Amino acid sequence: MTVSLEFLVASGIGVVTASGLWLLLRGRSYPVVLGLSLLGYAVNVFIFVMGRLWLNAAPIVAGGPAVADPLPQALVLTAIVIGFATTGFVIELALRSRHESGTDQVDGHIDGDGR
């Protein structure tokens, strides 16, 4: 039984996306931040894989038939920087919300409150 590289990468992206969605639906702010980060990582890997999975291919046209596309790599590098800044901002918002409301519940209700 052989498993292709594409199947492994697609399965990995699916697991990270499912984990991110599960964390995103949690009621506390820290798991929501982690879920957003995981979704960002899954999207980055998806964009990177859209340039095809090449083994031993040059990133710039060198006259050979196997050439990797550098555009998805540039997009992912930019997305990593933007995602890092956005994650820092969302963490600051979560800390400020915790300070203002006294709880880290996303909806503002305390567990078992019944409201």
Q: What is the CATH number of the domain that holds 22?
A: 1.10.287
pLDDT higher than 90, residue 97: no
Residue 37 domain flag? yes
Which value, to the nearest 10 degrees, does the dihedral of the CA atoms of residues 6, 12, 17, 22 take? 150
- Number of structural domains the chain divides into: 1
Tell me the average pLDDT across 36-44. Answer: 92
Residue 106 domain flag? no
- Compute the distance between CA of residue 34 and CA of residue 22 in angstroms, rounded to an integer: 10
As to burial, measured by CB atoms within 10 angstroms (0-12 exposed, 13-18 middle, 19+ buried), residue 73 is middle
Contact predicate 5/13, CB 8 Å: no
Residue 95 domain flag? yes
Structure tokens at 86: 């956005």
- The model's pLDDT over 59-86, given as tens digits with 9 standing for 90+, comes to 666 566 666 677 888 888 899 999 999 9
What pairs with residue 58 in β-bridges? 67
Q: Which of 73, 67, 16, 79 is nearest to 49 (CA)?
A: 73
Q: Considering the entire predicted model, what is its pTM?
A: 0.75
Contact predicate 39/15, CB 8 Å: no
Domain that holds residue 42: 5-54+67-101
Residue 113 domain flag? no
Residue 40 domain flag? yes
Tell me the average pLDDT across 13-39. Answer: 92
Residue 20 domain flag? yes
